[in-house]
């Protein structure tokens, strides 16, 4: 693997949804998430990271691109596998007496064994190297704070949630069929946002990348995933979703050359016609204030 990234990056991710539910809230009957005070729609950072993980899993054979947090994964088993690959027997005393003359708790790593396991987990799993992970359960591979972090996506304008009645021309059981006299209809509901433009902000820390081994190849894959993740995440519930803009600010230094929030303020998104509701991305203007741009910061428009 190549060397970790040397520069700090901040980025703005702009995506939209049409006739879909971008991120349902299980505590509210899977309704689209909303800010109760402003009416703006919300998509959690966890939801966005999941889509990045799913994109990376499209090519699981590539070295170092396994995914730790995925559907049906048993995390402790994966941690055990890493210890086995390192040849560390957690049932015996540590091989290095500096880690202890005896095993304090059988099946659990200790001392530098944890550091070795954590390093190997970072090498093996893209999402740990990128987003970090808590691996202190089971055999214990410690914790990793990831260099890439995302904020919640928040819609530019308040969104409206529509409720639709839907009909299925089938029933699940014979008892239901008998009750309906063979009519076999099942009624249901689905909720959608007719249209919304969402903005999420992200950060890439060179300092934390050095700790996890997050490198330039990983960064290129992240940009590609953010641009294309909705193309491989289609479902009837999510309607039409797409990444419309990915605006990246690359700093010359590892610590950065300008505050992130000041860079983000330069990106303006405004509706062209306030007299009617927006129903397409073309109803918005996206502008970037380039006047007096901070020295040491490069603007890169991925989309």
Domain boundaries defined on the chain: 9-164+190-301
**pLDDT tens-digit profile, the chain (303 residues):** 579 999 999 999 999 999 999 999 999 989 999 999 999 999 999 999 999 999 999 976 778 899 999 999 999 999 999 999 999 999 999 998 888 999 999 999 999 999 999 999 999 999 999 999 999 999 999 999 999 999 999 999 999 999 998 888 888 888 888 888 878 788 888 999 999 999 999 999 999 999 999 999 999 999 999 999 999 999 999 999 999 999 999 999 999 999 999 999 999 999 999 999 999 999 999 999 999 999 999 999 998
Eight-state DSSP code of residue 23: S
Please give the structure tokens belonging to residue 236.
């009837």
Within 10 angstroms of residue 257's Cβ, the number of other Cβ atoms is: 17
Structure tokens given for 117 = 């396991």
Task: Please report, in angstroms and rounded to a whole number, the separation of the first and last CA atoms in the chain.
Answer: 27
| d(C-alpha 194, C-alpha 161), whole Å | 7
Q: What DSSP element (H or E) covers 118?
A: helix 112-124
Q: Which two tokens stand for residue 19?
A: 């006739």
Tell me which H or E stretch contains 211. helix 206-212
The torsion angles phi and psi of 176, rounded to 5 degrees, stand at -65, -40
What is the value of pTM for the model shown? 0.92
Instruction: Could you list the beta-strand ranges (E) of 111-255.
Output: 132-134, 143-145, 148-150, 153-158, 162-168, 186-204, 240-251
Residue 170's alpha-carbon distances to 24, 52, 173, 181, 183, in angstroms, are: 25, 36, 9, 12, 8
């Amino acid at each position: 693997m190549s060397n970790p990234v040397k520069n700090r990056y901040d980025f703005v991710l702009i995506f939209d949804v049409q006739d879909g539910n971008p991120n349902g809230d299980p505590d509210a009957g899977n309704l689209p998430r909303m800010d109760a005070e402003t009416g703006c729609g919300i998509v959690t950072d966890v939801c966005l990271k999941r889509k990045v993980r799913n994109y990376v899993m499209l090519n699981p054979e590539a070295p170092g691109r396994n995914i730790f947090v995925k559907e049906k994964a048993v995390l402790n088993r994966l941690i055990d596998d890493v210890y086995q690959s390192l040849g560390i027997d957690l049932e015996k005393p540590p091989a290095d007496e500096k880690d202890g003359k005896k095993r304090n708790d059988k099946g659990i790593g200790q001392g530098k064994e944890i550091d070795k396991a954590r390093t190997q987990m970072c090498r093996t799993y893209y999402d740990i190297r990128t987003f970090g992970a808590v691996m202190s359960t089971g055999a214990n591979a410690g914790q990793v704070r990831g260099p890439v972090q995302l904020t919640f996506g928040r819609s530019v304008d308040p969104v409206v949630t529509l409720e639709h009645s839907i009909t299925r021309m089938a029933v699940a059981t014979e008892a239901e069929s008998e009750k309906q006299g063979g009519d076999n209809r099942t009624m249901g509901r689905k909720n959608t946002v007719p249209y919304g433009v969402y903005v999420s902000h992200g950060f890439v820390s060179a300092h934390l990348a050095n700790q996890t081994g997050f490198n330039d190849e990983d960064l290129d894959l992240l940009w590609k995933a953010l641009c294309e993740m909705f193309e491989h995440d289609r479902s009837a519930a999510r309607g039409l979703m797409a990444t419309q803009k990915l605006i990246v600010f690359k700093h010359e230094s590892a610590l950065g050359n300008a505050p992130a929030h000041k860079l983000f303020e330069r990106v303006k998104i405004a509706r062209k016609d306030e007299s009617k509701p927006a129903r397409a991305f073309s109803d918005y203007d996206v502008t970037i204030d380039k006047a007096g741009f901070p020295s040491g910061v490069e603007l890169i428009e991925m989309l």
